[in-house]
Amino acid sequence: MASRVKRVMAEEASRGSAGGIGSQVLPFAPMSAGYGKVAVLLGGRSAEREVSLKSGNAVLNALKSSGVDAHAFDPSEYELAELKEFDRVFIALHGRFGEDGTIQGALELMGIPYTGSGVLASALAMDKWRTKLVWQAAGVPTPRYALLTSRTNFEQVVEELGLPLMVKPASEGSSIGMSKVMQAADLQPAYELAAQHDRLVIAEQFIAGEEYTAAILGDVALPLIRLETPHTFYDYEAKYVANTTRYLCPCGLAPERERGFQALALRAFELLGCQGWGRADFMLDASGTPYFLELNTSPGMTDHSLVPMAARQAGLSFEQLVLRVLENAHVG
Ligand X SMILES: Nc1ncnc2c1ncn2[C@@H]1O[C@H](COP(=O)(O)OP(=O)(O)O)[C@@H](O)[C@H]1O
Active-site residue list: 48, 174, 240, 279, 281, 294, 296, 300
Judged by beta carbon distances under 5 to 8 A according to partner kind, the member of Mg ion, ligand X, none in contact with residue 191 is: none
Q: DSSP strand E in the chain: where?
A: 37-41, 69-73, 88-91, 145-148, 165-169, 179-181, 201-205, 209-217, 220-221, 225-228, 246-248, 277-285, 290-296
**225-228/220-221 β-pairing:** unpaired
* Residue 323 CB-density burial (10 A; 0-12 exposed, 13-18 middle, 19+ buried): buried
Is residue 174 part of the contact set for ligand X (CB under 6 A)? yes
Is residue 294 part of the contact set for ligand X (CB under 6 A)? yes
Judged by beta carbon distances under 5 to 8 A according to partner kind, the member of ligand X, Mg ion, none in contact with residue 206 is: ligand X
* Cβ at position 113, least distance to Mg ion in Å: 27
DSSP state for residue 144 in the 8-state scheme: -
* Cβ at position 309, least distance to ligand X in Å: 15
Judged by beta carbon distances under 5 to 8 A according to partner kind, the member of ligand X, Mg ion, none in contact with residue 233 is: ligand X
**Concatenated DSSP letters for 87-98?**
SEEEE---STTT
Comparing CB distances to ligand X, the nearer of 28 and 247 is 247
- Judged by CB under 6 A, the stretch of 192-200, 204-212, 265-273, 310-318 that binds ligand X is 204-212
Please, what's the largest Cα pairwise distance for the chain? 64
Comparing CB distances to ligand X, the nearer of 68 and 178 is 178
Residue 201 CA to residue 167 CA, distance in Å, equals: 7
Comparing CB distances to ligand X, the nearer of 207 and 253 is 207
Residue 301 CA to residue 141 CA, distance in Å, equals: 27
Comparing CB distances to ligand X, the nearer of 234 and 318 is 234
Judged by beta carbon distances under 5 to 8 A according to partner kind, the member of ligand X, Mg ion, none in contact with residue 282 is: none
Residue 203's region, left for phi above 0, alpha for psi from -120 to 50, else beta, is beta
- Judged by CB under 6 A, the stretch of 11-19, 168-176, 194-202, 318-326 that binds ligand X is 168-176
Choose which of 166, 190, 271, 295 interacts with ligand X (CB under 6 A).
166
* Cβ at position 88, least distance to Mg ion in Å: 27
Burial per residue of 198-215, b for 16 or more beta-carbon CB atoms within 10 angstroms, e otherwise: bebbbbbbbbeebbbbbb
- By CB under 6 A, the residues from 231 to 270 that bind ligand X are 233-234
Comparing CB distances to ligand X, the nearer of 294 and 319 is 294
The 142-161 site mask, x for binding ligand X (CB under 6 A), equals -x------------------
Question: In Å, how far are 190, 210, 278 from 216, measured between CA atoms?
Answer: 32, 20, 5
Is residue 206 part of the contact set for ligand X (CB under 6 A)? yes
**Strands ordered across the beta sheet of 201-205:** 145-148, 201-205, 165-169, 179-181
Cα end-to-end distance, the chain, whole Å: 26
- Judged by CB under 6 A, the stretch of 68-76, 108-116, 169-177, 316-324 that binds ligand X is 169-177
* Amino acid letter, 273: G
What residue ranges bind ligand X (CB under 6 A)?
A: 143, 166, 168, 173-175, 178, 204, 206-207, 211, 233-234, 281, 283, 293-294
